[in-house]
Each structure stands twice: as structure tokens, then as C-alpha cells.
Amino acid sequence: MSIDTKTDIPESPPLSSVDTPEPKPRAKNWVKSLDALRGFAALYVVMNHIAVLSLIPYKFIGHNPVSHITKLFSALMLGFSFGHQAVIVFFVLSGFCIHYRIASGFNAGRHNAKLDVKDYFARRAKRILPPYYFAIVFTALLSYAFLKINPDFAAHLTGYAFSDDILAVHLGWQTLLGNLVFQQWLTCATFGNNTPLWSLSYEFWFYLLYPVYIAIWRRCNTMAETGIIALVSLVCGILVTHVDAAYSWPFKIGEYWIDWCIGCLAADLYVGDKHLVMSKFLNLGVAILVMVSWILGTRALHINDAVSDFIGALASLVLVLTMLHRNEAVDNLKNQFPKWVEKQLSAVGIYSYSLYLTHVPTLCLLCAVWFTIFHHFPTNPVIPLVSVAICIIVARLSFAAVEKFTINRKQGA
């Protein structure tokens, strides 16, 4: 995902009529916390896709031919079954980072501040497009190699329905053109076998809708606007099932717009110190409990996906504000964790966009190589760990080659 707290906080849309406001001092102190959250979410998505691609031996959990260690590891990895929920966290972080600067200026008393739309879109294009188009080329090359090494995958012969869906390859010109203009999963398939690209199409349209958000935001308070957008999303969610599939994509965008806008709400609450009212609840343990309750509760109750994602966005708001809010409970709990954990997750957060864009084609190629050589599912728990390491190496190389040049270092946080 294209959410960069080190760059998006200072690179968010500047105010055309005033100097760009400096972030609040504590925001600078907590950039690493948001990077760590983003890094954790990115790694979680990678592990989720390793699982559904059958590199985690779920098949052997209840079987005797493998060791007890493998069975235990496989059972533990069932916890990585919620990759979609991690994407909702990305959406909320994205909305927060985009809206943070203009919300800071408005809160500082600059009520005449206006969004410089031209500069905003130029910054978004610079930040998003080069890594994305690099990933399209990368996907084409690895998908071609994938088909050559093990064409059985393209014929849906893995034995796992969900794996077959991910491993399906779409390389037609119409698919390519649709992905180049961010219409994947809306009017066409995702390009190659890079299924995570679906979320980029939604985020692209959320970026386009941000000036609309600002237009409403300037005319009413944040909570009222959130209610208006929630109503719009509700209507879109109802209509999307009654509209011809060829014309339903705008309603799909509208249905999930509220999730991104809740990130904007988090920015307004933070810069306005409204989160201080909730300070006694902003405890990392409480935030984690809220997230777990959302994930397990909505699945157990079979709640509608869009409603579940809306609840998840609210849970993510609590988590983001908790990471930002410096109160004694959070500090004490954070200090119980080794600092190197946050440091490493923060490092992953910096290049998480590249990791998100490149990991599935990489994993698919690894699958093709594995099954061509061994002709069976892996039973060694080391395999997923090696796969993660390879994905990280590829992502860091991609970041060094392309993404780092899209970051405005002169305005670093």
C-alpha cells in the first residue's frame, strides 16, 4: 500500500493560501510508531498470502506423517487468515496521512486554508505511479516465468480453490490497460497473478475523491461529514447488488469510501486533541482487544463484508490514535517490548509499498519452483520463513531502484 508516514505527513496536500504548517511535535515522535504499524500490517498480508498459496502445510495439521512441530506451526499460522482486515488498516492509515497536514493547518486557526488540487494530484502521482508501473512490469516478467515453469497452476490444478484463484494469470491487453488506469477488480481482473493490486484501484479513487471530502469538510464539522459519508456508503452498498455488473464499480468505490474517510476523522481528532477525551481508553491492550473482537466477532456472526470493514475501520481508528497518543499506559506497555522489534517493523514500514506490490508474484514463482522440484506440499516450517525473507529482499531492491526516488527527502518528517 502507498501509505508513507515518513513522507505523506509532510507531503500531504499543502495549503495554497498559507505556508505549510509544521506537524505537531508529538507527531514527529510517533512517526516510527505508525511506520511500525504499517510494517506489521504489510508482513501480515505477506504471511496471509503465503498461507493461501499452500506454502503453509494446513493439509497436515491432523495427519501423522509430519512432525508435531510442523502440526503446531501449521495450527499457529491459521492466525494469518485475515489479510483483508490488514488492508482496512492500510486504508485508515492512508486517510490519516493524506488529511493530516491540512487538518493541522485548519486547527492552527488558518480557516481560509484551501487545498491546492493541482499540487495535491502532482504529489500523489509522483508518489504512487512509478512504483506501481514498475510493479506491473515486474508482474509481467514473473507471471511469464511462472507459466513456463509450472503451467499446471494456470490450469487450476493445485487442489486448493482459493490458491487457484490467486494463482490464475491474466495477461491480456485489456487487463493491462485496465490496470494502468486503476480499474482492476472494478471493470477488469488484476494483472498477471498480482491480486493485491485490487486495493490500489480503490485507493486511487479515494485520492480522487479527497477534494470532494475537503469541500464537505469546510462546510460542516468532522463528525457530521463522517455521518454523511457513512450514509452515502450505505446507499452505495444497497445499490451495488441491484445494478448491472458492468456499471456497478462506482458503487463499489462508494461502499468502501467511509473506511478511508475514517482515517481522515482520526487526523481531525488527533490534531484537535479530541483524542484526549478518550485518553483513559487509549491503551494498547484495549486497542488490540478491539481489533481482535472485530476480526473474530464479525466472522463468527457472519456480518456483511462492507459492514464488517466499517466496524474494522473504527477499530483501526482506535488503534491509530492509541499509537499516536502519548499517555503513560501506552508508554509503559510499549517499553515492555524490545526496541529492536519496533525498529525492524518501522524499517519494513518504509518500504511496505514495494513489499505490497511485489510479494505475490514473487511467492507465486517460488510456488512454481517448489512444486516442480518436489511435487508435494511443503512440510517444513522453515519454508514460509525463507519465503518472507526472499519477499523482503525483492521489496528492498524494488524500493532502492524506484520507490526511494519518489520520496521528498527535503521535507522528511
Closest by CA position to 88, among listed 281, 293, 253, 317: 317
Q: What is the pLDDT of residue 113?
A: 64
Nearest 10 degrees: Cα torsion 269, 272, 275, 277: -130
CA distance 61 to 129: 42
Joined together, the cell numbers standing for residue 359 give: 510479494
Q: Can you give the pLDDT at residue 106?
A: 78
And the C-alpha cell for 388?
A: 518472507
257 SS3 class: helix
Contact 48, 82 (CB under 8 A): yes
For residue 132, the tally of other CB atoms under 10 A from its CB is 20
Boundaries of every domain in the chain: 5-258+335-411
The answer to whether 180 and 136 have CB atoms below 8 angstroms apart is: yes
Residue type, 338: P
Q: Residues 352, 353, 356, 362: is their CA dihedral positive or negative?
A: negative
Position of cell 489479510?
Answer: 83
The H-assigned helical ranges of 325-351 are: 328-335, 339-350
DSSP letters, 124-161, are HHHHHHHHHHHHHHHHHHHHHHHHHH-TTTTTT-SS-H
- How far is 57 from 43, CA to CA, in rounded Å? 19
Sign of CA dihedral 281, 287, 292, 298: positive
pLDDT, position 133: 98
Q: What is the pLDDT of residues 274-310, one digit of tens each?
A: 655 555 566 667 777 888 888 888 777 788 888 899 9
CA distance 355 to 348: 8
Q: What is the pLDDT of residue 22?
A: 45
String of DSSP letters for 208-251:
HHHHHHHHHHTTS-HHHHHHHHHHHHHHHHHHTTTS-GGG-HHH
Which helix (H) or strand (E) segment holds residue 267: the answer is helix 249-271
pLDDT below 50 — which residues of the chain? 2-23, 25-27, 57, 60-63, 327-330, 409-413
Tell me how far apart the alpha carbons of residues 90 and 35 are, in angstroms, rounded to a whole number.
Answer: 11
Residues 215-218: contacts with CB under 8 Å, at least 24 apart: 217/264
Distance CA 84, CA 2 (A): 16
Q: Output the CA torsion 262→265→271→273 (10° steps).
A: -100
**Per-residue confidence (pLDDT) for residue 42, from 0 to 100:** 95
Q: Is 170 helix (H, G, I), strand (E, B) or coil?
A: strand
**Cβ–Cβ < 8 Å for 230, 313:** no
Which triple of cell numbers denotes residue 113?
Answer: 486554508
Neighbouring C-beta atoms of residue 230, cutoff 10 Å:
15
